[in-house]
Structure 1
Amino acid sequence: MRERIIKEIKQLEEQYGVKICYAVESGSRAWGFPSEDSDYDVRFIYVHKKEWYLSIEQKRDVIELPINDLLDINGWELRKALRLFKKSNPPLMEWLHSGIVYHQAYSLVDKMRAIQNKVFQPQSALYHYLNMAKGNYRDYLQGEQVKIKKYFYVIRPILACMWIEQYHSNPPLEFKMLVSELLEEGELKKEILILLERKIKGEELTLEPRIAIINDFLENEIIRLEEYTKNIIVSKDDITPLLDELFRDTLEEVWSND
């Protein structure tokens, strides 16, 4: 599959006349809990030629391939990516730290990582992960019978919030690392790790009675984190000039020999 993904990336560069700086896996494979039939969620950052940016017309700033049952590929144009980086967009921050990298070229991503602490906004990240957890909990975990898979789409964002609260930094992608660092030894941790092993083995769609100790933990954390997010205030300097410079430098670096 890796070879197919790399081939798709090269074809996108040729089809759209762009250069892709970075392409990674996101979603369950990057988080460390894929099942046997999990699809591949590939995300990338790309750069158009200089002329594309020197236009009065508003242009589409994403590239998306049709989704099939195995492969989901889409990416953001550089300027869009840097605008979202300035806002500490959590999905983008996750891309920067994916452990599954399909392609990396030029200096863009290394420079973004070097200044990520200047853009990180805990409020933005907390609201993102908490709203994800609340929505998934409401939709999937309140019935008498629940699917194993759905637990992870609530547990992981809750643990991400707990990480931000404790360490004031972007949470790691790996689910096991979050569990190891944030949960004490005991029944809750044991039940979550058992669920993880079952999901990886392919039991993720099994309907079964909800697990009280996990549901209680999630309900209590949602309530507690809602209160916490109301009171957190962190100010950041405007780094627009720095990101403008990064944009121009990247454009020059990518197309200097064109």
Structure 2
Amino acid sequence: MDTIIQKKLVEIEETYKVKILYAVESGSRAWGFPSKDSDYDVRFIFIHPTDWYLAIDPQGIGAKRDVIEEPINELLDISGWEITKALRLFRKNNPPLLEWLRSTIIYYQKGSFVENMRALESDVYLPNSMLNHYLNMAKKNYREYLQGSQVRIKKYFYVLRPILACLWIEKYNTTPPISFQELVEEMIPAGELKSAVEHLLKRKLIGDELDLESRISVINDFLETEIQRLEAYAKSIRVEAKDSTQLLDELFRDTLQEMWQ
């Protein structure tokens, strides 16, 4: 599959006349709990030639889109963000983008852009923004999938992971790791809950079909308690955002020159 993805990235560069700066796996494969039928969720950041930016019409007008989205098939979901869109989202501390920067499955990386971007993360870090993102994700998935006596049991991962990410932010005041296993190891103490989560993870990784089953009380109780507690904690956080615009403008200009000089 890696060869297919590499070929597709080259095709995108040629078709759209752009340069891809960074391409990674996201989603369940990057998180560490893919199903046997999981597709590949490839995400990338790209940059246009200089003339594309030196024009009277900005991106978003006419054909000047700031995303590239390829048709999705049963194996591959691939899409990318234009560099200035990515940097604006980085300025807002966008959690999915920060997860891309932590993916251990890297398909392509060109130039110094990503390393320079990572070096600026402390200048954009907003714990309240990140915590609210993960908490809202957990609450939505919990409401939709984990109510009643019978639940879609594989959906536990899509509530557990954001809750554990919130706990990481609360404890360390840093961006949480992308690995679900690392979050479990660090944030859940030994005991019944950890054993239940690790057992569920083993089942998923060996390909067990995890569809409707009886709810796992010890996990549900943990999630309900932490959702309520974290809602109160999120309201107590007060952070003054830094204005990183100048730094990110410089990164954009430096990257433009590096890629197209």
Output aligned runs, 1:52-91, within 5 Å.
52-57=52-57, 58=61, 59-91=64-96
Matched, 1:50 2:55: no
Q: TM-score, normalised by structure 1?
A: 0.98
Of residues 218, 228, 245, the one that matches 2:223 is: 218
Contact 1:21/1:47, CA 8 A, preserved across alignment: yes
Deviation at 1:225, TM superposition (A): 0.3
Q: In the aligned structure 1, how far is the partner of 2:87 from the partner of 2:196?
A: 40
Deviation at 1:56, TM superposition (A): 2.5
Of residues 172, 176, 191, the one that matches 1:171 is: 176
Secondary structure at the residue paired with 1:142?
coil
Q: Who is 1:30 aligned against?
A: 30
Contact 1:24/1:95, CA 8 A, preserved across alignment: yes
Residues 126-179 of structure 1: per-residue CA shift (max 9 Å, x gap)? 111000000000000002211221000000000000000000010000001000
Deviation at 1:55, TM superposition (A): 2.1
Q: In the aligned structure 1, how far is the partner of 2:56 from the partner of 2:148?
A: 52
Of residues 177, 184, 191, the one that matches 2:189 is: 184
Q: TM-score, normalised by structure 2?
A: 0.96
Deviation at 1:203, TM superposition (A): 2.3
Change (3 A) 1:148 1:203: farther
Q: Counterpart amino acid of 1:69? A: E
Deviation at 1:237, TM superposition (A): 2.1
Residues 224-250 of structure 1: per-residue CA shift (max 9 Å, x gap)? 000000010112321111100000000
Of residues 141, 144, 152, the one that matches 1:147 is: 152
Contact 1:148/1:199, CA 8 A, preserved across alignment: no
Q: In the aligned structure 2, how far is the partner of 1:119 from the partner of 1:167?
A: 16
Of residues 159, 164, 177, the one that matches 2:164 is: 159
Deviation at 1:37, TM superposition (A): 1.1
Secondary structure at the residue paired with 1:245?
helix
Aligned length: 256
Deviation at 1:204, TM superposition (A): 4.3
Q: Who is 1:121 aligned against?
A: 126
Q: In the aligned structure 1, how far is the partner of 2:65 from the partner of 2:149?
A: 44
Identity of aligned residues (%): 64
Secondary structure at the residue paired with 1:180?
helix
Secondary structure at the residue paired with 2:189?
coil
Deviates more, 1:89-98 or 1:114-123: 114-123
Q: Who is 1:41 aligned against?
A: 41
Change (3 A) 1:202 1:130: same
Deviation at 1:94, TM superposition (A): 0.3
Q: In the aligned structure 2, how far is the partner of 1:110 from the partner of 1:187?
A: 40
Q: In the aligned structure 2, how far is the partner of 1:73 from the partner of 1:241?
A: 31
Residue ranges of structure 2 left out of the alignment (5+ in a row): none
Q: In the aligned structure 2, how far is the partner of 1:147 from the partner of 1:254?
A: 46
Deviates more, 1:31-40 or 1:218-227: 31-40
Q: In the aligned structure 2, how far is the partner of 1:25 from the partner of 1:144?
A: 34
Q: In the aligned structure 1, how far is the partner of 2:122 from the partner of 2:67?
A: 26
Q: In the aligned structure 1, how far is the partner of 2:108 from the partner of 2:32?
A: 20
Q: CA RMSD in A?
A: 0.8
Contact 1:148/1:205, CA 8 A, preserved across alignment: yes
Q: Counterpart amino acid of 2:52? A: W
Q: Who is 2:237 aligned against?
A: 232
Q: Counterpart amino acid of 1:99? A: T
Q: In the aligned structure 2, how far is the partner of 1:204 from the partner of 1:110?
A: 39
Contact 1:148/1:203, CA 8 A, preserved across alignment: no
Q: In the aligned structure 1, how far is the partner of 2:92 from the partner of 2:25?
A: 22
Q: Who is 2:13 aligned against?
A: 13
Secondary structure at the residue paired with 1:42?
strand
